[in-house]
Amino acid sequence: QSVLMQPPSVSGAPGQRVTISCTGSSSNIGANYDVHWYQQLPGTAPKLLIYGNNNRPSGVPDRFSGSKSGTSASLAITGLQSEDEADYYCQSYDSSLSGIWVFGGGTKLTVL
Amino acid sequence: QIALKESGPTLVKPTQTLTLTCTFSEFSLSTSGVGVGWIRQPPGEALEWLAVIFWNGDKRYSPSLKSRLTITKDTSKNQVVLIMTNMDPVDTATYYCAHRGPIYPGTFDIWGRGAMVSVSS
């Protein structure tokens, strides 16, 4: 079981807005460690999508945004497109056990 | 443009030792703030962080696998090696190496394409 909890799946129609949650605890997100998000298209390696809770690397469309509050974070995707169909993972740092990097269990986004 | 590539055996037998090599380009593991990590993904499952090594030699391991993992770097060859002992079928996964740099702190910002490793007798 992953340290960071994500819903297994979400779906939305083209043009709609969807959100993906990432729930942690007081030793990771709640300890003020940054949350990052990755997009993994089918059969490919993960790609950095959001860093530092709400920042986009160059080249990532502004349809993707992140937020964080308390022990949770969220990824929002607006204007949903078919090419957004992918798995999405959150990632943070956990201060327990001498410090480790942790990923969420992943969320499969289906564009209807 | 930063690039990483994993290499190693595609099939290992249970109890054997796996050695994976990450060969990278366009960055140096002697530059302050830079690191290389290993992450794996069993078929159809989530990502799991395994280990990371930093420019200053600092190493961190996943607590659940720490006794089985060793990560080393060869700065002159631009390589990072991950050794995992006592392989088991549950270790069947795609193994990725990834760059950690100062531009996007805390992230694995560039990933290799991954190396699929199957564990079977």
Residue B98: how many CB atoms within 10 A of its CB? 26
Indicate the pLDDT class of residue A2, thresholds 50, 70 and 90: confident
Residue percentage of chain A with pLDDT more than 90: 92
How confident is residue A99, by pLDDT bands cut at 50, 70 and 90?
low
Chain segment B50-102, per-residue pLDDT in tens: 999 999 999 999 999 999 999 999 999 999 999 999 999 999 999 999 999 88
- B-chain CB neighbours of A36 within 8 Å are 104, 106-107
pLDDT by residue (tens digit) across A22-70? 999 999 999 999 999 999 999 999 999 999 999 999 999 999 999 999 9
Q: State which amino acid sits at residue A69.
A: S
CA distance A81 to chain B (A): 23
* Contact between A45 and B37 using a beta-carbon 8 Å cutoff: no
User: Of the candidates B121, B112, B117, which has an alpha carbon nearest to the alpha carbon of residue B5?
Assistant: B112
φ and ψ at residue A31, rounded to 5 degrees: -90, 15
Q: What percent of chain A has pLDDT over 70?
A: 97
For A25, list phi and psi in degrees, rounded to 5. -150, -175
